[in-house]
C-alpha cells in the first residue's frame, strides 16, 4: 500500500476518534451513560463481526475456545465495559473539553503500570516526562483558573476521567500478551463487553426508548469503538514505521477541541489547550528519549 494512502487511512481514524467526545455529550443529553454504552457496544460488535465475515475470518475467533474465550471475556470486561462505564460517567459530569484531554494521560499510566507488572525500571527521563504530563492534568483540571488558586471543579469527574486512562493502560498490558490478530481480539472484546453492559443496564437502569439520542449512540459504536479501529489497524499493518503512524494519534485531542467548540458550543478555557500541550509534550518527550519496545509500537 502506498505511504500516502496509509497516512490518509490513519488520519481518517484520528478524525473519527476526534468526534467521539462531542458524540458522547450529544447522546448523554437524551439517554443515560449505561444506555449509551449498551447501544454503542452492541453496534460495535455487530459491525466488527460483519467485517470479519467479509474478510472470511469469522471462524478464527472461535478457534481454541477454552483458552481464547476466557481471555476475551477478561479483556472485554476491562475494555469496553469498565473503561467506558467510567469514562462516560466522567463525561456526564464534566465539560467535554475537560474529560476528553484528561483521558489522554493513559500512556503515562502505561509506564507506571509497566514498572509494577512488567518489572521495567523507571528512569530519570521517564520521571521528568510523567511530571510534565501530570502538571498538564492539574492545569486542565483548573478549568480556566490559575492552577492551585482554588479548588478543582467536579473532582469526581476528574478522578473518573483519570481512572479511565488507568483501566485502558491495564487493558493494553493484558492485550500485549495475547498474540491473536488484533481485529479478532477486538471483535470478541466488544462482544463480551456488550454482554457485560447489558447485565449492568438490566441491574441498574432500564432499556432505552427509541429517540434521537440513539443516533449519536450508534455513531459512537460505529466510529469510536469499531470503524476507527479498523482504519487504524489497517494503517499500522501497512506501514514500515509504526512509530510515525502512532504519534499521529496525538493530533486527535487538539482536533477534538475544534469539534467540541463548533458543535457543542463550549467556550474553550485557555487552560485546556495549555494543559493538553504539556500532557502530549511529556508523552512525546518520553517516547523520543527512550524507546520502549512493545509499548508504543
Please state the rounded mean pLDDT for residues 224-245. 82
Highest mean pLDDT (candidates 102-111, 112-121, 133-142): 133-142
- 108 occurs within a structural domain: yes
pLDDT in tens, 173-223: 888 788 888 899 999 999 999 999 999 999 999 988 877 788 999 999 999
Is 193 contained in some domain? yes
Contact 158, 272 (CB under 8 A): no
Please answer whether residues 271 and 142 qualify as being in contact, where contact means their C-beta atoms are separated by less than 8 angstroms.
Answer: yes
DSSP 174-222: HHHT--S-HHHHHHHHHHHHHHHHHHHHHHHS-PPPSSTTHHHHHHHHH
DSSP-derived letter for residue 60 is G
Q: Which of 18-27, 148-157, 196-205, 262-271 has the lowest mean pLDDT?
A: 148-157
Residue 148 lies inside a defined structural domain of this protein = yes
Rg, C-alpha atoms of the chain: 19
Q: Do residues 158 and 141 touch, judged by C-beta distance below 8 A? A: yes
Assess if residue 47 is contained within a domain: yes
121-167 per-position pLDDT tens digit: 777 777 888 888 888 888 888 777 666 555 677 889 999 999 999 99
Would you say residue 296 lies in a domain?
A: no
In a domain, 282, yes or no: yes
The answer as to whether 246 is a domain residue is yes
**Any domain includes 212:** yes
> Which range of residues forms the domain containing residue 70?
3-289
Lowest mean pLDDT among 116-125, 224-233, 264-273: 116-125
What is the count of structural domains for the chain? 1
Amino acid at each position: 500500500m502506498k505511504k500516502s494512502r496509509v497516512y490518509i487511512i490513519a488520519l481518517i481514524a484520528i478524525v473519527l476518534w476526534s468526534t467521539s467526545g462531542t458524540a458522547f455529550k450529544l447522546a448523554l443529553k437524551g439517554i443515560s451513560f449505561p444506555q449509551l454504552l449498551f447501544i454503542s457496544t452492541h453496534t460495535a460488535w455487530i459491525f466488527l463481526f460483519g467485517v470479519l465475515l467479509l474478510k472470511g475470518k469469522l471462524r478464527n475467533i472461535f478457534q481454541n475456545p477454552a483458552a481464547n474465550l476466557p481471555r476475551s471475556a477478561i479483556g472485554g470486561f476491562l475494555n469496553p465495559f469498565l473503561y467506558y462505564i467510567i469514562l462516560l460517567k466522567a463525561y456526564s459530569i464534566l465539560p467535554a473539553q475537560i474529560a476528553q484531554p484528561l483521558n489522554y494521560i493513559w500512556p503515562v499510566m502505561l509506564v507506571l503500570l509497566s514498572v509494577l507488572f512488567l518489572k521495567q525500571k523507571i528512569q530519570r527521563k521517564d520521571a521528568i516526562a510523567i511530571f510534565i504530563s501530570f502538571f498538564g492534568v492539574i492545569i486542565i483540571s483548573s478549568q480556566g483558573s490559575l492552577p492551585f488558586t482554588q479548588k478543582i471543579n467536579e473532582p469526581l469527574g476528574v478522578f473518573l476521567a483519570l481512572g479511565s486512562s488507568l483501566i485502558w493502560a491495564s487493558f493494553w498490558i493484558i492485550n500485549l500478551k495475547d498474540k491473536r490478530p488484533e481485529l479478532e481480539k477486538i471483535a470478541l472484546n466488544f462482544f463480551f463487553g456488550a454482554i457485560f453492559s447489558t447485565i449492568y443496564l438490566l441491574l441498574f437502569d432500564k432499556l432505552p426508548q427509541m429517540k434521537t439520542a440513539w443516533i449519536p449512540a450508534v455513531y459512537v459504536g460505529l466510529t469510536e469503538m469499531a470503524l476507527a479501529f479498523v482504519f487504524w489497524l489497517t494503517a499500522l499493518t501497512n506501514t514500515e514505521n509504526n512509530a510515525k503512524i502512532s504519534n499521529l494519534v496525538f493530533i486527535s485531542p487538539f482536533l477534538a477541541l475544534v469539534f467540541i467548540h463548533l458543535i457543542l458550543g463550549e467556550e474553550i478555557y485557555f487552560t485546556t489547550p495549555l494543559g493538553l500541550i504539556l500532557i502530549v509534550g511529556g508523552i512525546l518527550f518520553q517516547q523520543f528519549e527512550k524507546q520502549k519496545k512493545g509499548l508504543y509500537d
